[in-house]
A and B are shown apart, each in its own frame.
Chain A
Amino acid sequence: AQSVTQLGSHVSVSEGALVLLRCNYSSSVPPYLFWYVQYPNQGLQLLLKYTSAATLVKGINGFEAEFKKSETSFHLTKPSAHMSDAAEYFCAVSFGNNRLAFGKGNQVVVIP
């Protein structure tokens, strides 16, 4: 079955430290891949998406993600966390048919 896995519901990171959020998918065919961010009391916003043009994708607010076909992964990183990065982050995978499958999300807490 096609699925999206995000491990660790809550992630704590110190201000200025590396942010790393992991996303793995199961599919025999490379899907379309996305990261969305949700700030408190708001809807989701697109952070970045993989378009197959390049394996390293740069998004908004200094985030980037790398597609690794051999590992079926699309991990999200940011070199230096800022207080404003506190939010919930969702990996999403499109397997076709107008449907996005979302991971369970990572709640990121930034410690001053």
Chain B
Amino acid sequence: NAGVTQTPKFQVLKTGQSMTLQCAQDMNHNSMYWYRQDPGMGLRLIYYSASEGTTDKGEVPNGYNVSRLNKREFSLRLESAAPSQTSVYFCASSEVGGTNEKLFFGSGTQLSVL
């Protein structure tokens, strides 16, 4: 009963370093999302993938890239980390991607960029 699994749970980077956040879902969902959560800002959409093989920019895509590796996995990459990317990152999935659908969230990755 895993649902949406994110790794790692915590990460500390130095400015300029790169890293990839991993996300996998076992619910056979078509759509997957990456959000960032900052205090007092709510959640903001970084990128999403409506279906395998497609990705689209969200509200705050600058500084990030994504890969929908297959139907299960959707990774988020920071090529050159900046302190402004210090945040909690959440991956989510939904069955079809319709506007009235429930999102299932992972437990998050807390990232600090020094």
Contact = CB atoms under 8 A, between A and B. Distances in A.
A70 interface: no
B107 A90 contact: no
Identify which of A6, A98, A99 gathers the most chain B CB atoms within 10 Å of its CB.
Answer: A98
Contacts, number: 60
Contacts of B99: 31-32, 94-98
Contact of B105 (A6, A45, A49, A95): A45
B19 to A, nearest CB: 20
Given A32-B99, A43-B4, 7 more contacts: A9-B40, A36-B103, A44-B105, A45-B105, A98-B48, A102-B42, A104-B42
Interface of A: 4, 6, 9, 31-32, 34, 36, 41-46, 49, 51, 90, 94-100, 102-105
